[in-house]
């Protein structure tokens, strides 16, 4: 286990609003907010201008904070196809920026983040924001939602295995540890026993 905190740069991608947060997570899972920013671009700007703005912002975060890992929300195609396409474009920019710096990348689904942070893969935004506020010891809930989502991504990535170097650069979702290594689980009882553990694995199964 590392002796120093893992520094995670997490991005909630989007063209109109792109949330970026840097969080330090200690080996004992204590998390501290380092920086947060929501980058916004008007929909009247060209796609090149919008992506360039995101590229400049993520480059500044990489150079200013020297993160160990990058965590990005993984999106799924839904009814709003233009939104999904724009989100994918923003994701590509930040992932490429990490690749140029040899920074490991992790992709997390919204359900996985919710399960990691709240113990419930179906938690709503208010519940996630409340837990983020509590975990980071913030004086007030972070706003806008894109900021809170980015913070939750960073926390979830570290807690799901980033502290141990697992679940990176595979494009696949992996548990934070094998079931037999979950706290309170023995070889005779290899199934997760806590609600948070069960929610976590259920979120992964739905995302595959």
Q: What is the pLDDT of residues 48-67, one digit of tens each?
A: 999 999 999 999 999 999 99
The three-state secondary structure class of 23 is: strand
Q: Is 146 annotated as a binding residue?
A: yes
The three-state secondary structure class of 197 is: helix
Query: For residue 79, is pLDDT > 60?
Result: no
- Decide the pairing of beta strands 31-40 and 17-25: antiparallel
Tokens for 114, please give them: 């919710």
pLDDT band at residue 199 under the 50/70/90 scheme: low
pLDDT at 191: 44
Query: For residue 171, is pLDDT > 50?
Result: no
The three-state secondary structure class of 64 is: helix
Where is average pLDDT lowest: 143-147, 190-194, 197-201? 190-194
pLDDT at 190: 36
- What string of DSSP letters covers 35-50? EEEEEE--TTS-HHHH
Q: What mean pLDDT, rounded, does the chain reach?
A: 81
pLDDT band at residue 198 under the 50/70/90 scheme: low
**CB-CB contact of 208 with 174 (8 Å):** no
Comparing CA positions, the residue from 190, 189, 200, 102 lying closest to residue 156 is: 200
Q: Is 139 annotated as a binding residue?
A: no
Q: Is 73 annotated as a binding residue?
A: yes
The whole-angstrom separation of Cα 79 and Cα 74 is 16
Tokens for 171, please give them: 């494009």
Q: What is the CA radius of gyration of the chain?
A: 17
Residue 131 sits at the vertex; the CA angle it makes with 32 and 199, to the nearest 5 degrees, is 115
pLDDT band at residue 172 under the 50/70/90 scheme: very low
Cis, bond preceding 144 (omega within 30 deg of 0): yes
What are the residue numbers of the active site? Answer: 12, 73, 146
The whole-angstrom separation of Cα 151 and Cα 170 is 22
């Amino acid at each position: 286990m590392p002796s120093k905190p893992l520094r995670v740069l997490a991005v909630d991608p989007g063209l109109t609003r792109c949330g970026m947060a840097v969080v330090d997570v200690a080996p004992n899972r204590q998390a501290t907010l380092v920086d947060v920013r929501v980058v916004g671009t008007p929909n009247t700007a060209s796609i090149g201008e919008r992506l360039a703005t995101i590229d400049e912002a993520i480059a500044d975060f990489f150079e200013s904070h020297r993160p160990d890992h990058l965590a990005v929300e993984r999106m799924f195609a839904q009814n709003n196809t233009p939104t999904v396409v724009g989100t994918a474009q923003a994701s590509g920019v930040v992932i490429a920026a990490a690749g140029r710096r040899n920074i490991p990348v992790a992709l997390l689904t919204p359900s996985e983040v919710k399960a990691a942070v709240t113990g419930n893969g179906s938690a709503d935004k208010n519940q996630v924001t409340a837990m983020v506020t509590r975990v980071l010891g913030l004086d007030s809930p972070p706003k806008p939602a894109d900021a809170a989502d980015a913070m939750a991504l960073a926390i979830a990535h570290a807690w799901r295995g980033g502290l141990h170097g697992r679940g990176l650069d595979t494009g696949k979702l992996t548990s934070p540890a094998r079931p037999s290594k979950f706290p309170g689980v023995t070889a005779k009882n290899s199934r997760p026993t806590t609600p948070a553990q069960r929610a976590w694995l259920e979120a992964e199964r739905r995302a595959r």
